Each structure stands twice: as C-alpha cells, then as structure tokens.
Amino acid sequence: MINELHQWLGHVSFLIKKEILTIVKEPANRVILIAPAFMQALLFGYAATYDVNHVDYAVLDQSRAQASTEILAHLDGTGVFERTATLTSASQIEQIVMDGKALMVLTFPPDFENKLNRGETSPLQVILDGRNSSTAGAAASYISAVVSDFNQRRAGGVAPLSLEVRAWYNPNLESRWGLMPTLIAALSMMQTLLLSALSVAREREQGTFDQLLVTPFTPMQLLTGKAIPPVLVGLVQSTIILLIILFWFRIPMNGSLLVLYIGLFSFNVAAVGLGLSISAVSVNMQQAMLYTFLLIMPLMLLSGLLTPVQTMPAVLDTLTYANPLRFAIDLVRRVYLEGAGLADVAFDFVPMLVMAVLTMPLAAWLFRNRLY
C-alpha cells in the first residue's frame, strides 16, 4: 500500500514538474506571470480610486466680503481644491464648465455677507460638472463639510449637539483601502483560470495529447498534476500583490496570514477546477481562451469588487452564490482589514469548497472521456 502511494505521488510529481517547466521555459511566459501582477496592482492602487485628490474650481464672488473670502481661503488651503479662474459674470459659468477647465463653480450673491450679519440664511450656489459624477459627488460632500464648519464658527463654535463620526477599518476613508485587498484574489484569478484552461487544450494543439494515452498515468494523476501548478502560480501572484499592498501602499494588515492563505488556497482550487473543466471541453487553445474571457467578466461584475452585491437585483444576488470570487473577496477583505478569524469567515469557505468539489470531479469526468 505504501509502495503504491509512493509510486502514485512520484507520477504526480513528474507531471507537476512537466507543467511548471512548460509554463516557465519561455521568457515571455515568465514576464506574463509576474509583470501583470505589478502593473495591475499599481494601476488599481493609483488610478481606480474614488478619493478626491485634486479639484479645479472657479469662483464668482459678487459680495467680495469677509465671509466669502474666509470660505475661499479654507478651500484654497486644503491642497485639494485649486482655483483655476475668478469670474466676473454669471454668463461665464457655462463655458468654463463645458470646456472642462473647472469641475465646480462657487457663486456668492452680492448680499451674501449682509444676510449673514442679519442672521438670515444666505444661499451659496455650487455648480458641479456631472460628467464626472463620482468626483463631483465627493467634492459636493466636501463643500458641505466646509459650510457646516463655517456655520459652527459663525455661531461661536459651540453646538448644542456634537456628532462624532468614526470610520471602522478605514479611518481616513480612503477608497484604496477597500479596493486593494480585494485584488489579492481578483487579479490572481485571471492567471489561474487562464493557465488551467489552457493546460489540456495546449496538449491537443501541440499534438502531445495522444502521448498521454500511452503513459502509465491514470486520469486522476494527470488531473492532479495539471491542477497543482496553476494553484501555486495563483498563490505566488497573490503574494506579490499582498507585498505591494503592504510595503508600497502601506495598508496595514490586521488579520492572520494563515487564515488568509487557507482561504486563497480554497479559492484557487475552485478556480482551477473551473479552468480544467473549460480545458477538457475545448478543442484548442483559442477556444479555451475564448471561454475563459467570456467567463471572467461576469465573475468580476458579480463578485462585489466594484459594486456591493447587496445592491444587485435579487436574481443576480442569487447567481453570485455560484461565483467563488464573491466569497474570496469577502474573506480577503474581512481578514485583511477587520482582522477576522477562521470562525468569522467560515461561511465563505462553503461556496468555494462546494465549487471545488463540483468542478474537480467534473473536470476528471470530462478528462476521462477525452482519454478513453
């Protein structure tokens, strides 16, 4: 029994070595396995952010009084708002917004100061360019905060009721903190799914698939040998992205690395099972790539990566239970930011393991039918 097990593992180790050599023997493949992880992590970290870091604005100050000067000085001193134009008439507003020279225009009426001195409400007009809705909405929220601060200071700085807001797990409310940890699972899935989908299709296209028929390997050994290398590649890419998040973007990790990697391993096994199923039914590499890219987009959109799953229609919410990426993202985000333990994220393992249990035998059955 021990000798048979040793022989079985020996056969699988030869297949694993063969697959790894196939993946890394070409310089182009080595670049593809490493470079996208760096590029995508940096692009998402810097470009895909909803934080307001720079807003060009124009001002039409018809009051030219102390109150309007104080508000504008507050804005100019933030380092976020940059005044690009000082207007002299309301007719200039439309053109400067249409030309994209200002995302926001502030208009102070002539009697702005006088109404405030009389204790009346004085309007402050804020015109926003809705073509960039996310930044415009964030800028409007910032202006509201500036106005609220101004009102409190005008009232003597004392309010009857003080509201203190604290953001858990992301104290500075940086969108990067919520987005970057999810990439540990999302970006690695692309390579993992593609590599596993191409594994058997590559054998057919290169003419080496028939050679597998005369080897002493069983279908289960062949499947195991082809499944482990993509899982290892996925874990390596997740590690690269994790290191970038920790040491480049300096987003602190609050949870356990062990729990994180147990979750990533379960997710990669589910992704590889899905990829091998695609590979088993694909006639060539072109078909495998087509099926993979058709599948990746729905998996990304229904994962909660960019929009919360809870806001989706009930039908789509139900479909996401068949998406292992949804639960991998939830697990990674909670472990990384919240410091959740294994018991806290235990439910996230269930759909991923169910997907692995379903797809791996399905791939084995399809693979066996192709062999025999």
3-state secondary structure of 83: strand
Q: Give the gyration radius of the chain's Cα atoms.
A: 28
Q: Which residues contact 249 (CB under 8 A, 6 or more apart)?
A: 45, 176, 180
Question: 161 or 177: whose pLDDT is higher?
Answer: 177
pLDDT tens figures, 61-86: 888 888 888 888 888 887 788 898 99
- Is the whole-model pTM more than 0.85? no
Question: 218 or 40: whose pLDDT is higher?
Answer: 218
Q: Is the pLDDT of residue 305 over 50?
A: yes
Angstrom distance (rounded) from CA 157 to CA 132: 34
Q: Beginning with the edge strand found earlier in the chain, give each strand of the sheet holding 104-108 in spatial order.
A: 81-86, 55-61, 104-108, 125-128
Which two structure tokens, joined as six digits, stand for 315?
Answer: 């039908």
- Whether 137 and 55 have beta carbons less than 8 Å apart is answered as no
Angstrom distance (rounded) from CA 215 to CA 221: 11
Q: What percentage of residues in the chain have a pLDDT greater than 70?
A: 79
Strand locations in the chain, DSSP E?
Answer: 55-61, 81-86, 104-108, 125-128
Handedness of CA 33, 231, 353, 280 (dihedral sign): positive
Question: 304 or 208: whose pLDDT is higher?
Answer: 304
Domain ranges of the chain: 10-48+174-371, 55-154
Work out the number of other CB atoms within 10 angstroms of the CB of residue 169. 13
pLDDT tens figures, 140-168: 778 888 878 777 777 654 443 334 455 66
Q: Residue 246: what pLDDT?
A: 92
**Which range (106-115, 207-216, 242-251, 292-301) has the least confidence?**
207-216
- Whether 215 and 169 have beta carbons less than 8 Å apart is answered as no
Which two structure tokens, joined as six digits, stand for 299?
Answer: 């998996």
| Integer angstrom CA distances of residue 75 from 79, 82, 155, 213 | 8, 8, 20, 72
Give residue 266's pLDDT band: very low, low, confident or very high (50, 70, 90): very high
Q: Is the pLDDT of residue 294 over 70?
A: yes
Angstrom distance (rounded) from CA 23 to CA 36: 15
Q: Residue 182: what pLDDT?
A: 87
**Which range (44-48, 194-198, 266-270) has the least confidence?**
44-48
Class of CATH domain 55-154: alpha beta
Angstrom distance (rounded) from CA 357 to CA 350: 10
Q: Which residues contact 259 (CB under 8 A, 6 or more apart)?
A: 335, 340, 341, 342, 345
Lookup result for tokens 């690269």: 240
Angstrom distance (rounded) from CA 267 to CA 189: 9
